[in-house]
Structure 1
């Protein structure tokens, strides 16, 4: 089906797209109940009805405005998520790198297996099924379904609960009024779309390309593509509910081709008001309850500094400058080709032969040795984010190709 919108890069349209993108980025639908700032999440495609729906034509600008004006306050449904970053098989190294599989699940150590900030990192790899529900700004729930177990995050008023049925552990913290909407994880199709729209500028092509059925709803397909060739992002496709303007499916495909890196969407959806009891939670008898220490809680700045989690390049730099080991951080380039660079002040990553053993082999499997005017270094790759660490301790990282990182290091030298 031919595109509804055109890829016209005139100044007027570019200004309109930026205006619509700013409105969409400011709007927060209260379904932000799942995700990791990094947001490196993917979805098994939702089952679609046969045939595409016949909908009135709409321009890219009009569809962006429709997303911005969406006012969905209540919903419940099922989301399927998959992630394919192309990381190598960790094998026996996995448990040592994550603190020990069974140990971390049982809540050994200082942390809690029910803490959302650690538990929901599981969404960064593999395929997962989630149940979500929302009723306004104050009530959201996400349940991560596992083999013979379930993990839930419940936000109800000022209380944020995490419950891991496998370990019978509970995590509890209090949500302040000023932090509403930021305490729960953000990675629904709506959240991911908001982040993608922040990248819409003169370096971006935005079109409407056909329609689709998603979770029983008629949707438009909004397609966002970098115009330049240096990014690892091929395109982002968002299925937008034609009636409500709510993004129902988000798919990020890499410029290298193949399966989606991120593909998240609803397979079942209802806009009916969830029962009030959906958001009730009382710690089960015998459960270990961990209360968050307010004095150790993060203020959220670093969250927004993560790839995909910051509003601007300045936010990215500001957040990392406050973290240990990120002295003198700078963001070079613009838009999709932005690269964050900083100096660790130490030596680069040792080679696998220098380290030896399983961990040495693991390092070699991740990295490619490169050289240039900057000297020598190693590029560590995923299908989305790549990082060059030079032998003298400088780091270059972004959603760009290996060649783009080497070029940046050479110019930096």
Structure 2
């Protein structure tokens, strides 16, 4: 079954892979969580009806474990160097700042534990071998805690305001929401059979681009047959091989989580960083947005659909790695980044293209950044067409 689906709202299609890559704006081998014992026999459903089922899903309470595996093919940086935040998030906190955690999901396999009880109570934990990072949203209180460093981050906000929970952006629900919002006439959508995910019967929804210049081969979403909750989200690159991103529930329950799941008190001796009071008044929130815009530069979208490219002016410092406290280390890090990819020239001047399996990024010598899930030629053409603007 296939269908053309008109967009419910205009969203930027590259947002999912770029966000996960951590090189622009929010994105694996298909594992064993989908049971091999046989696909469930479910009633037929059209692509339109399945998308409507996801859009109409109103699951308020749930808990479970999610395995997130990324294989984007990002270049490796030496220890102490990282893309983007350099250990400090947008709020200026320490290692427990939630905005700093998204980059940790860029590569490898991670286990997330999720719990939610309505719009005011959520908890997300990244479980590692020797430590656990947790983000707790309870009413107007937001806490983040890193057991490995015994550091905590705290902020207050208006009720129902976005908690800024960067790790949860890698959950199947959030990834599927972004992808489905971007479906338009550049997309082919079909229901591609059924599956078992975390013991639940699910339909498999397949989204494929019609535009040749994209690096994305397909996006596949497993949708709970009963309540429409996305249970798995997989992005496969056009070049083949292992998928670039896979987020899948390995356990899930739709019962009400324990109230204690959303309680938190910093352990004795923990270093607590206080974030900005984002919910104190609307004026301060708007000022925070203006400050963020000034820090990361102006941005705009070039093109349409799967071949959309984001242009960021003056964002070169945000993309380049931050290393240590000394200027010498930062200089070495920038030299290392300059050695990646290939040198390109055009009407925009000169620059360097850094490529991954899913996202290509052009850093121009005048400080502009062009990024998208598109091939190198399309990226350079986008920069050429906007030279001097």
| TM-score over 0.5 for the pair | yes
2:59 pairs with 72, 79, 82, which one? Answer: 72
The number of aligned residues is 363
Q: Paired residue for 1:334? A: 304
Q: Paired residue for 2:193? A: 210
Shift of 1:66: 0.5
Q: Paired residue for 1:142? A: 124
1:398 pairs with 334, 353, 372, which one? Answer: 372
49 and 267 in structure 1: CA distance in 2 versus 1, 3 angstrom threshold: same
Q: Following the alignment from structure 1 to structure 2, what is the Cα–Cα distance between the partners of residues 120 and 278?
A: 22
What are the ranges of 5 or more consecutive residues in structure 1 without an aligned counterpart? Answer: 9-13, 26-33, 304-318
TM-score (norm 1): 0.76
Q: Following the alignment from structure 1 to structure 2, what is the Cα–Cα distance between the partners of residues 150 and 403?
A: 42
Shift of 1:128: 0.5
More RCO (CA 8 Å, sep 6+): 2
1:119 pairs with 88, 94, 101, which one? Answer: 101
CA contact (8 A) 2:119 2:160 kept: no
TM-score (norm 2): 0.81
What are the ranges of 5 or more consecutive residues in structure 2 without an aligned counterpart? Answer: 13-19, 321-328
**In the alignment, does 2:169 pair up with 1:184?**
no
Structure 2 residue matching 1:67: 3-state secondary structure: helix
**In the alignment, does 2:238 pair up with 1:255?**
yes
TM-align CA RMSD:
3.8
Q: Following the alignment from structure 1 to structure 2, what is the Cα–Cα distance between the partners of residues 381 and 45?
A: 29
Q: Following the alignment from structure 1 to structure 2, what is the Cα–Cα distance between the partners of residues 333 and 65?
A: 27
Shift of 1:337: 1.0
Structure 2 residue matching 1:284: 3-state secondary structure: coil
Greater Cα offset, 137-146 or 337-346: 337-346
Q: Deviations over 1:3-61 (max 9, x none)?
A: xx12x4xxxxx4xx226x44999xxxxxxxx9989633988552424111111111000
Within a 5 Å distance, the mapping from 1:172-321 to structure 2 comes to: 172-177=154-159, 179=161, 181-185=162-166, 186-294=169-277, 299=285
CA contact (8 A) 1:44 1:127 kept: no
1:94 pairs with 69, 73, 81, which one? Answer: 81
Q: Deviations over 1:137-194 (max 9, x none)?
A: 1111111111221111111111111111112222111120251x45433331111111
Structure 1 residue matching 2:6: 3-state secondary structure: helix
Shift of 1:320: 11
CA contact (8 A) 1:140 1:156 kept: yes
Shift of 1:401: 0.7
Q: Paired residue for 1:316? A: none
1:153 pairs with 126, 135, 157, which one? Answer: 135
CA contact (8 A) 1:43 1:82 kept: no
